[in-house]
Structure 1
Amino acid sequence: MEEAEAEAEVESNRDNVEVAPALIAVHPEQISVAVAVGPDLRVFDLLAGSAASLVDECGAPFHKDSIRAIRFGSRGKLFVSAGDDKTVKIWSTESWRCVCTVSSEKRVSAVAISEDGCHVCFADKFGVVWVVDVAGSHGHVTLGDRKPTPLLSHYCSIIPSLEFSPDGRFILSADRDSKIRVTNFPKKPLNGAHEIRSFCLGHTEFVSCLAFVHARECPQGLLVSGSGDSTVRLWDISSGALLDTCEVAAKAGLLESNGEAEEHGHAVTDLCTTISGLLIAVAIQSLQGIVLLSCDVSAQTLSVSKVVSIAGEAFVPTCLGFSPAEGMLWMVTGVSSLPACNYPPLARVRVISSIDAEQEPVVLGDDEIPGGEKLLETLQGSASVDESAFLAAAEAVKTAMRNLLIKKQYPADNRESRKKTRNDRKLKM
């Protein structure tokens, strides 16, 4: 009886974990925009004014399970998608052909592309970061199947975010045990990364997202991180020193004056920095809009600049993307599926302009968004969805994030039954 109950609990937790938030990524020059929701990967070519035609010799669907990470390289030549199907796909943005397919032992939780575009790194649910050499992957050149090589490990702690420093010298990995590890990225990464520069310690819950504030005074940049503890923190990665902490949920009015709130109900889900590095856009669970933080590089402090609300609709962003070329902040809300509902994967895209200018940010209407109706139809899908569904989607994402990233403690007698439910794919090295 106890074993049956344990298995039922595991199945319940697994169902919650499989609810995946919608993701968005923007080409550095705003040439294209990609949205992933569930296993669907949707890309719109802004230059052509139409949906991009993705080509994969492995055949459609490109992914067989929820996509958990998408990313453009800093030079815009590569795009990576990965997720619960234990597959990492590397795409050329010139042809939108899949130039490389990588198999992972575990489900993939985060991806990063080196500054020179020669290496793709990805993290799995067991806290291992892998590296793939993709030098020469562009245009119509297909690299075929490539085997990943272990780079570093967080020892059985899920890694929600990976990031390269602006100078390319370091790779940063954040985990659900509130740690941020700064590792020297070696000249020969296929031999592993063995030199740790620092640990950034101070968050009291899982670290959900990382980004860099670019500054001339600091070529390697200052790090900002968001967490389940409802804060955004500023770091010096050379020493791991905590420079400042901003209680963003409290500043946005989501917490009561006595500080009491639903546990983990106001986690920072995503953040991104503008090209000047002076502003940081922050998405928080339960906030229908974003918080803009100002970073004073010389004083090494964070402060709330303003809260931008999305009026008139239920829009709680699940992912953010910034376009340096146009100074636009792209946002998406949605979810792969809703429990007990027959909705297809939900996605809604909104854009804020003038995000990095002196004038007030403006939430664009659907007819003002670059690409207009064609873009929205491509990225959102053609299905009409009731507003209440997006509120339910926000709650589903909150529950899934809690079940995935809040570390669970299992009795010893439950461990064997949990092992039986694992479906790890072993690689032949």
Structure 2
Amino acid sequence: MEEIMDEEDNRNNDDNSSNRNDVAPALIAVHPFHISVAVAIASELRVFDLKGNCSVTLKVDSGGSLHHDLIRAIQFGANGKLFVSAGDDKLVKIWKTDSWHCINTVNSEKRVSAVAISNDGHYVCFADKFGVVYVVDLQGLDEDKSLINRKATTILAHYCSIITSLEFSPDGKFVISADRDHKIRVTVFPKKPLAGAHEIQSFCLGHTEFVSCLAFAYSPDCPRGYLVSGGGDSTVRSWDMTFGTLLSTCEVGTEAGSLESNKREEDICHAVTCICTTSNGTSVAVAVQGLQGVILLNCDLSNGTLSTAKVVPIGGGAFIPTCLASSLSSDFLWMVFGVSSLSGVDSPSLLGVRVLSLSKKSATDATADEPMVLEDKEIPGGAKLLEKLQGSVSIEEKLFPVAAEAMKAAMRNLLTKKQYPAENREFRKRGRNDRKFKQ
């Protein structure tokens, strides 16, 4: 715990530092019914209306503001009516997607690392980097404008560990939280969330490094589905979350290993950065550090096991996806590669968008579907969408490998625990802010 407090003090000091130069990955989220797509890069949120084929202007109340620091989490609600964004400015902004008006801004005590929206749209949960999960009650917001500045209430907490991912189960009965200390916690979402969530259903234990992302593989025939997780140990695992049972482990690092065979073994890191289930629930797309493409896994919903189906390379330079997204009503897999900033580079951010069609007909077999990366003109929204989401700044492709290395270092620094020699620990304890205040 003292080590976590040391690291949190360092982050607080960084918050007050004018020369802070954090690197954050670009994020992407798609409306569940493929109506709109949103990306976040640095402090900027960009949204494109796929149905109207036009860019979206975000609206905030008078006196309000957009984000003013790195955005770390974005998510659409299951019914598509709400969208949430949050990050290092300690603001959680809740948007109505029919008007893209910010209906509520919640202040967090610490920087936010993950967000989730309950399936009925009544609650928003968010987690901070000290391991606390909060809940905001949104019921009645449409009827009572005076309740727009609702406060967040603590619902559960991990033991002083950065929470990396937060999700509601498909049936809405559980809220699942993952952290950098290899743990996945399945908590029963109570009928009265503001009173706290005190019943733990299970722990899913098996990862040997930080857990970076969560998703669900499910279908109408299997509504609860199976929990799928990815981590810093280069594995994707499937779980029966009711009992915390590990069902399958897929070593995806081996698929990416050959791409970095010229590097020293200690420099190679194949952490899973993002996982995303496809519309039919039987495939899981995986993004891995260093892999210029995505790995598609088959999920057998009869028993929840995973197996490697195909590695799909992404053309167009060193495009290494940092985030993946899909919708319930299309066979498109949306990918984004980008970072918030690079030291010594004039451009404020790097961002590229690609779309993978999972149902293109094979050139060799007209009856078979073959995943294929779409040309820019084939992407829904075409040039308009790319101009809105990618921005007008032209980025040199030679910077993409630099950006990938910067993201790898940032992820390692954030999620890998620092190990200090015994002789240094007492010295670091004396320098902690809480000790200074007591003195």
Global fold match (TM > 0.5): yes
1:415 to 421, 424, 429: 429
Q: Is the 8 A contact 2:256 2:270 kept in 1?
A: no
Question: What is the distance in 1 between the residues matched to 2:413 and 2:79?
Answer: 35
Partner of 2:34: 30
Partner of 1:238: 242
Q: Tell me which amino acid in the other structure corresponds to 1:413.
A: F
Q: Is the 8 A contact 1:214 1:275 kept in 2?
A: no
Residues 47-56 or 162-171, more deviating: 47-56
Partner of 2:75: 71
Provide, for residues 99-124 of structure 1, a one-character-per-residue CA deviation record: whole Å limited to 9, x for no partner: 00000000000000001000000000
1:394 aligned to 2:404? yes
Provide the TM-score with structure 2 as the length reference. 0.88
Q: Is the 8 A contact 1:87 1:103 kept in 2?
A: yes
Describe the shift of the 1:367–1:220 C-alpha distance in structure 2 as closer, same or farther (beyond 3 A). Answer: same
Question: What is the distance in 2 between the residues matched to 1:131 and 1:275?
Answer: 28
Partner of 1:365: 375
Question: What is the distance in 2 between the residues matched to 1:282 and 1:89?
Answer: 28
Describe the shift of the 1:369–1:344 C-alpha distance in structure 2 as closer, same or farther (beyond 3 A). Answer: same
1:114 to 118, 133, 149: 118
Question: What is the distance in 2 between the residues matched to 1:139 and 1:71?
Answer: 24
Partner of 1:212: 216
Q: Tell me which amino acid in the other structure corresponds to 1:365.
A: E
Describe the shift of the 1:64–1:415 C-alpha distance in structure 2 as closer, same or farther (beyond 3 A). Answer: farther
Question: What is the distance in 1 between the residues matched to 2:22 and 2:409?
Answer: 11
Specify the SS of the correspondent of 2:376: coil
Question: What is the distance in 1 between the residues matched to 2:435 and 2:111?
Answer: 14
Instruction: Give, in angstroms, the shift of residue 166 of structure 1.
Output: 0.5
1:313 to 313, 317, 328: 317
Specify the SS of the correspondent of 1:367: helix
Specify the SS of the correspondent of 1:374: helix
Q: Is the 8 A contact 1:327 1:356 kept in 2?
A: no
Question: What is the distance in 2 between the residues matched to 1:21 and 1:421?
Answer: 34
Q: Is the 8 A contact 1:24 1:332 kept in 2?
A: yes
Q: Tell me which amino acid in the other structure corresponds to 1:109.
A: S
Q: Is the 8 A contact 1:208 1:270 kept in 2?
A: yes
Instruction: Give, in angstroms, the shift of residue 138 of structure 1.
Output: 5.5
Question: What is the distance in 2 between the residues matched to 1:256 and 1:53?
Answer: 41
Question: What is the distance in 2 between the residues matched to 1:17 and 1:417?
Answer: 23
1:56 aligned to 2:66? no
Question: What is the distance in 1 between the residues matched to 2:51 and 2:243?
Answer: 43
Q: Is the 8 A contact 2:23 2:406 kept in 1?
A: yes
Q: Is the 8 A contact 2:84 2:94 kept in 1?
A: yes
Q: Is the 8 A contact 1:354 1:360 kept in 2?
A: yes
Instruction: Give, in angstroms, the shift of residue 48 of structure 1.
Output: 2.1
Question: What is the distance in 1 between the residues matched to 2:110 and 2:413?
Answer: 18
1:405 aligned to 2:409? no
Partner of 1:272: 276
Describe the shift of the 1:224–1:37 C-alpha distance in structure 2 as closer, same or farther (beyond 3 A). Answer: same
Q: CA RMSD in A?
A: 2.7
Instruction: Give, in angstroms, the shift of residue 61 of structure 1.
Output: 4.8
Q: Is the 8 A contact 1:251 1:304 kept in 2?
A: no
Q: Is the 8 A contact 1:254 1:287 kept in 2?
A: no
Q: Tell me which amino acid in the other structure corresponds to 2:429.
A: R
Q: Is the 8 A contact 2:257 2:270 kept in 1?
A: no
Specify the SS of the correspondent of 1:145: coil
Partner of 2:5: none
Specify the SS of the correspondent of 1:412: helix
Question: What is the distance in 1 between the residues matched to 2:212 and 2:146?
Answer: 33
Question: What is the distance in 1 between the residues matched to 2:154 and 2:247?
Answer: 32
Q: Is the 8 A contact 1:279 1:356 kept in 2?
A: no
- Aligned pairs (5 A) from 1:163-202: 163-202=167-206
Q: Tell me which amino acid in the other structure corresponds to 2:389.
A: L
Specify the SS of the correspondent of 1:349: strand
Instruction: Give, in angstroms, the shift of residue 7 of structure 1.
Output: 7.9
Residues 62-71 or 303-312, more deviating: 303-312
Instruction: Give, in angstroms, the shift of residue 408 of structure 1.
Output: 1.5
Partner of 1:3: none
Specify the SS of the correspondent of 2:197: coil
Partner of 1:304: 308
Question: What is the distance in 2 between the residues matched to 1:252 and 1:32?
Answer: 31
- Aligned pairs (5 A) from 1:85-164: 85-137=89-141, 143-164=147-168
Q: Tell me which amino acid in the other structure corresponds to 1:155.
A: Y
Unmatched tracts of structure 2, length 5 or more: 1-8, 362-367
Specify the SS of the correspondent of 1:171: strand
Question: What is the distance in 2 between the residues matched to 1:66 and 1:175?
Answer: 20
Instruction: Give, in angstroms, the shift of residue 255 of structure 1.
Output: 7.9
Provide the TM-score with structure 1 as the length reference. 0.90
Provide, for residues 340-378 of structure 1, a one-character-per-residue CA deviation record: whole Å limited to 9, x for no partner: 222112110000012599500110111111111111111
Question: What is the distance in 2 between the residues matched to 1:356 and 1:145?
Answer: 47
Residues 111-120 or 215-224, more deviating: 215-224
Unmatched tracts of structure 1, length 5 or more: 1-5, 423-429
Question: What is the distance in 2 between the residues matched to 1:145 and 1:59?
Answer: 13
Instruction: Give, in angstroms, the shift of residue 57 of structure 1.
Output: 1.5
Provide, for residues 12-53 of structure 1, a one-character-per-residue CA deviation record: whole Å limited to 9, x for no partner: 9x9888210000000011111100000000011112222111
Specify the SS of the correspondent of 1:321: strand
Describe the shift of the 1:117–1:7 C-alpha distance in structure 2 as closer, same or farther (beyond 3 A). Answer: closer
